[in-house]
Amino acid sequence: MPLRCFALACCALAIGCAGRAAETPTQAANEARFLLWQTNSGGDDIHVFDAETGALVHRLVVGPEPHGLAATADHRTVFVTLEANGQRHGELLWIDAASFEITRRMEVCREPHALAAAPDGRWLYVPCRDGRYWVVDGETGDVVRRIETGGRPHNTQISSDGRWAYLSPMGAPQAVTVVDIQSDHAVAGEIAFTAAPRPSALSADGRWLAQHVDGLNGFEAADTRSQRIVTTIDHSTPLDGFVQLGSLGRLGFGGFERCHGLSIRPDQSEIWSLCGDTLTIHAFMPPHFPELAAIALPSNGYWLTFAPDSGFAYVALADAGEVAMIDATTREIVMRLRVGEAPKRNLVLRRAPP
């Protein structure tokens, strides 16, 4: 049966497709082309699926409240942060992507969030609740620097050449800190945004950074060379309770609202932006960002990612405990995969050779 037909057939039986892990996860993983890794931030586990068939390959118990998820460019090593909310320390984990074995774990700062990894895995940038990003040597586990950003460090991007890190803390700074990784992790500037940063996305060539900010039903895009905002993109679907405040963004009547989920297709043809309160994903075309489509979701979306070949997108439906698999060409949901409690960050990797 052709893959697309199989996917559509499974759509009607999505829970059955994802309901039980394979008895031999390594063998099942070796039969997959891409693997979807999904953290369950309300629990202690990660679900790993065949990203094309929706079959559950493995359920990996990692520890309390897995939050951040990153990988090396060769897709052989996965890094996970455990938020462990309320504890003195969180954890940082190294996972062999072929065997699903945790090869190292270390205590880090309190409530580590969405980390990023250099392409070769040498440097890991871990956002910490205390207003600093920890820079961890991925080979030794040593903490080589703690970078002050203020606010509550939350999201992180590293350029595909491994040169630049973009640190997006929530709160008062309302700016992204730019770090020159090759210059001993020196701060090289900042990009001021109109409100507190949330999720971000960086183009493959590193030329522009898209950034969700509090109170904006859309996102802002900055030129990384000039370190300035070049445009603000609004979603066509209105967000309830918002009033327009021009360049200041949008304030909700009940407090700040936000969008949370931003991803660029690997072929760089589109950027998708998710506002959970509207139950909608909006697709735009860089570099001028005309809106191409608005895709309805069945539940509140929190995060999204694409398969490496740009064929499918995967949206974490945090309230429903599911992941929606979307055909990126037809923009239709073809499967809904049952996962754990409060799924958030996700990542699709090529199958790592054993």
Q: Are 167 and 175 in contact (CB under 8 A)?
A: no
Residue 3 is predicted with a pLDDT of 44
Neighbours of 86 (CB within 10 A): 9
Write out the residue range of the structural domain in which residue 279 sits. 3-350
Instruction: Kindly indicate the confidence band of residue 5, based on its pLDDT and cuts at 50, 70 and 90.
Output: very low
Q: What is the mean pLDDT of residues 30-42?
A: 94
Q: Are 75 and 30 in contact (CB under 8 A)?
A: no
Residue 107 is predicted with a pLDDT of 97
CA pair distance 48, 46, nearest whole angstrom: 7
Instruction: Kindly indicate the confidence band of residue 352, based on its pLDDT and cuts at 50, 70 and 90.
Output: confident
Task: Look at 325 and 6; give whichever has higher pLDDT.
Answer: 325
pLDDT in tens, 114-144: 999 999 999 999 999 989 999 999 999 999 9
Instruction: Kindly indicate the confidence band of residue 195, based on its pLDDT and cuts at 50, 70 and 90.
Output: very high
pLDDT in tens, 272-328: 999 877 789 999 999 999 999 999 999 999 999 999 999 999 999 999 999 999 999
Total domains in the fold of the chain: 1
- Look up the CATH number of the domain holding residue 171: 2.130.10.10
Instruction: Kindly indicate the confidence band of residue 26, based on its pLDDT and cuts at 50, 70 and 90.
Output: low
DSSP string, 279-295: TEEEEE-TTT--EEEEE
**Which range is least confidently modeled, 51-55, 74-78, 149-153, 350-354?**
350-354
| Percentage with pLDDT > 70 across the chain | 87
Instruction: Using a cut of 0.85, tell me whether the model's pTM lies above it.
Output: yes
Cα–Cα distances in angstroms (integers) from residue 158 to residues 115, 197, 232, 333, in the given order = 10, 16, 22, 30
Residue 158 is predicted with a pLDDT of 98
Task: Look at 27 and 297; give whichever has higher pLDDT.
Answer: 297
pLDDT in tens, 43-88: 999 999 999 999 999 999 999 999 999 999 999 999 999 999 888 8
